[in-house]
Structure 1
Amino acid sequence: MNETEYRARGNWNEMKGKMKQGYGQLTDDDLTYDEGKEDEWLGKLQQKLGKAKHEVKEWIDSL
């Protein structure tokens, strides 16, 4: 893994931590993101959090 990959992984881990702080019911499985499956991942978060898709996106963008 090169430095850029370490940085990206560190940023994602920091974001996941913030997401778990905001919503304690989120698990690592909920926060596992597969490239190319953003809509599916957002839908899973939407159901878990009981929020509209745009609300979930706005919340993630604000982190």
Structure 2
Amino acid sequence: KIAKDILKEWNDKKMSEDFRITLFNIILRKSNLKAIQLEDEMNLPIHIQLPSLKKEDQVSEKKNE
């Protein structure tokens, strides 16, 4: 049932924020891992720390601390 709901949202181009953030983090993690593999093969320095997305309220809480 969850998969059907996600597929329906995907087709309507309307996804929940939690799902979208999770999906983007998976894409970023996989692409950055591939970049690290290529950098290792070509003896290049590792590019950057692996990025991840967070909800705005989580970011504001960290800034206020």
- Bin of the TM-score, shorter chain as denominator length: 0.3 to 0.5
TM-score by length of 1: 0.40
Which of 1 and 2 has higher RCO (CA within 8 Å, sep 6+)? 2
